[in-house]
Amino acid sequence: MVLEVLCGRKVFDYSQPEEAMHLLNFFKKKIEEDRLLDLVDKYSEDMQLHGLEVVNMMRVATWCLQIDFTKRPTMSMVIKVLEGVANVESDLDYFFLNPPLQKMRAGVDNQEYVVIATPLLPSILSRPR
């Protein structure tokens, strides 16, 4: 949601060209090209005026979305970054989609069933901070 606000568009925007329709994929592409300023909301004067701060906020959001919960920052670290005292971690993963569903076999009363389930990853069962 933070990216939607900072970019001034929805996660799925069918009015965009095909490569830009899905915001998270487009975000990943722009990060790889080191062109996050291209994503800053073009219709917001404030966002444009503070473009570098907006890009930093995008990086903070990315850091907080890490699938590996051990790579996510604590809230105190997020505050330090927003205050300019610390920097966003540089070794981040930009793949935010949920893992594929797994098919498992289960048996009840001599009947075998296929069960489709989402694996319980640390990102889902994140420890409290």
Cβ neighbours of residue 122 closer than 8 Å, sequence gap 6 or more: 68, 69, 70
φ, ψ dihedrals at 105, nearest 5°: -100, 140
pLDDT tens, position by position, 46-63: 999 999 999 999 999 888
23-37, 43-57, 106-120: segment of lowest average pLDDT? 106-120
Question: Domains in the chain, start-ordered, CATH in brackets?
Answer: 2-83 (1.10.510.10)
Mean pLDDT, rounded, of the chain: 81
Q: Measure the CA–CA gap between 60 and 64, rounded to whole angstroms.
A: 6
Q: Measure the CA–CA gap between 62 and 58, rounded to whole angstroms.
A: 6
